[in-house]
């Protein structure tokens, strides 16, 4: 499975349209740990990552767009009433066709 530049560009655009918006970031720190959810605000959008400011502490974090595709980080946007998952563009799966030739016996 491959992730294409156009898919990352679409995701970057979706996040950019919500700059300043409250979000919930759900991170999976490891196999045995529980996922952590943090409330943050989208601060800046860059080519390969975006930065957020966490509400609970006065600190800033950054996340790669690739992390959203691999589901190591999940983002939910606040629409004014409730949080809804950020919809990532569908990833395109490339398949290589392999031809098999039957031998005449």
Per-residue pLDDT tens digits of the chain, which is 105 residues long: 566 778 888 888 989 999 999 999 998 777 777 778 899 999 999 988 999 999 888 899 999 988 888 888 889 998 878 888 886 555 555 556 555 555 554
Closest CA to 88 of 28, 14, 22: 14
Residue 24 has what pLDDT? 92
CATH class belonging to 5-85:
mainly beta
Domain ranges of the chain: 5-85
pLDDT value of position 105: 46
Q: In terms of C-beta density within 10 A (0-12 exposed, 13-18 middle, 19 or more buried), how is residue 75 classed?
A: buried
The distance from CA 44 to its chain's CA centroid, rounded to whole angstroms, is: 15
**DSSP characters over 32-89:** SSPPEEEEEEEEEE-SSEEEEEESSSS-EEEEEHHHHHTTSEEEEEE-SSSEEE--PP
């Amino acid at each position: 499975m491959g992730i294409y530049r156009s898919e990352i560009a679409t995701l970057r655009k979706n996040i950019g349209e919500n700059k300043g918006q409250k979000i919930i970031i759900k991170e999976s720190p490891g196999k045995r740990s529980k996922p952590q959810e943090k409330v943050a605000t989208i601060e800046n959008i860059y080519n390969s990552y975006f930065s957020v400011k966490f509400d609970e502490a006065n600190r800033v974090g950054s996340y790669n767009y690739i992390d959203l595709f691999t589901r190591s980080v999940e983002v939910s946007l606040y629409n004014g009433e409730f949080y809804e998952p950020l919809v990532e563009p569908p990833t395109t799966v490339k398949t290589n066709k392999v031809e098999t030739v039957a031998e005449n016996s």
